[in-house]
Amino acid sequence: MTRKISLSARGAALFAALGSAVCSSQATLSLQQAIDEALATRASLKADAERISIAQGLRKQAGAIPNPEFQFQNENLRPGQTYTRDVDTLAMITQPLDILGKRSARVEAADKTIARSQADYDVARREIVRNVRIAYWAARGSQEVMSVLKAAADNFQKTVDYHAAQFSAGAIAEQDLLRVRLEQERINISSNLAAIDANHARADLLKQIGRVQFEQVVLTEPLTIQQDLQPLGLDQVLGQRPEVRAARAAVEEAESNARIQDLALRPDLNLTYGYKRTELPDTTYGVNTAIFSLRVTLPVIDKNQGNRAAAQAEIRRRQDLLAAVENDIRIEYSGALQEFQMRRAEVADMLEPLRQHAANISQIASAAYAEGGVDLLRFLDAERTRMEAEVAWARGMADYWQSLAKLEAAEGIGQ
């Protein structure tokens, strides 16, 4: 049994050495670098940006003037006639006139579509930034837990070596050595599990960034508390959130489309002007005549009632969606603010003092155990408490920064 534990300890030491060699070659990654890379590489965000270009193209098309129509016509074509002498010739140009407000209404609606597309892009951008920040701090917390447990495993190896020397000298019983080695196995298992969790969290972060391959990176943001943060008011939050701007732009777009349907009742105008050459009967010459006409569509029967009713229903639907978005944001912001305040109080009032107390107790227990003042079990218990306090602090700090990321996202603060 002792031999198996010894071999396992050697394997853990080899794993730690290999881990140190890998960490030395890893690239570093800050939070801002992760956000910038995600915004530059995420294909979904690029697709949302193209929607703005599409809306801008449609706006340009909405303001375009209709092309004129050219018509060439011959009359009095009969068998046996001479074309240059007996056939009448007409050449006409017809120009649609868009002067009754329809064109300006289409341009206005296209402008509203551009505004909505821009707001939708801002929503997608905010969501990417939020997900990257949350994934980053989750991975940063897992990395800290892994570092704490790895350091604990490395430091505890000295304790194992000390007790092995004591056992060889006959100063302690084999049972004490086995207890120490059993504690080492427990720490090594916890360290290995933490490394697996850190890899999972790092993979999720790289996925949110948009990388196509799994890479070993070291996250560099410090785990500290920011004391100077002041939450925003709800009115300011509603004014900053891109979801509200997108919903309001959708309402304005629906109103513009309804105006287009109302203007569809106005008549369409077409202006025709041209030239006609008529050959006079029983002569060898003709006369030239100018042609002018104005064609107007008569809205005798309103055939656009369905489109107008649908447009008004769309306005009401968009208004209801706007109210729903505002209600969701109120709830989201209140929950995020409360969670942030609780996480900050937890770290400052509980986890940080617990960490300091556990470190002091461990130091006292180590000194007392070296002098023979406490037994092995109390020494191991103090070391275990210190390690658990360090792990709880690291996870609490990660939760604190994740809650801050959720709060700033709820406030509509972008990067």
Average pLDDT for runs of 10 along the chain of length 415: 37 43 67 92 90 93 89 81 76 87 90 93 92 94 93 88 86 86 91 94 93 88 81 84 92 93 85 85 77 83 82 95 94 92 92 92 87 83 90 93 91 73
Residue 228 within any structural domain of the chain? yes
Domain of residue 393 covers: 26-64+103-261+306-411
Tell whether 197 and 83 lie within a shared domain.
no
Residues 222 and 297 in one domain: no
Residues 120 and 154 in one domain: yes
What's the confidence (pLDDT) of residue 171?
Answer: 82
**pLDDT given at position 415:** 53
Considering its fold, how many domains does the chain have in total? 2
Look at the pTM and tell me if it is higher than 0.85: no
Measure the CA–CA gap between 139 and 180, rounded to whole angstroms.
31
- For residues 145 and 226, membership in a common domain is answered with yes
Residues 213 and 330 reside in one and the same domain: yes
Same domain, 80 and 222: no
7 within a domain of the structure (yes/no): no
Could you tell me if residue 14 is inside a domain? no
| 5 found inside a domain | no
Same domain, 182 and 128: yes
Residues 154 and 176 in one domain: yes
47 shares a domain with 92: no
121 inside domain: yes
Q: Is residue 20 part of a domain?
A: no
Q: Does one domain contain both 292 and 395?
A: no
CATH of the domain at 54: 1.20.1600.10
The reply to whether 149 and 294 lie within a common domain is no
Same domain assignment for residues 233 and 91: no
Q: What is the pLDDT of residue 21?
A: 41
Question: What per-residue confidence (pLDDT) applies to 414?
Answer: 61
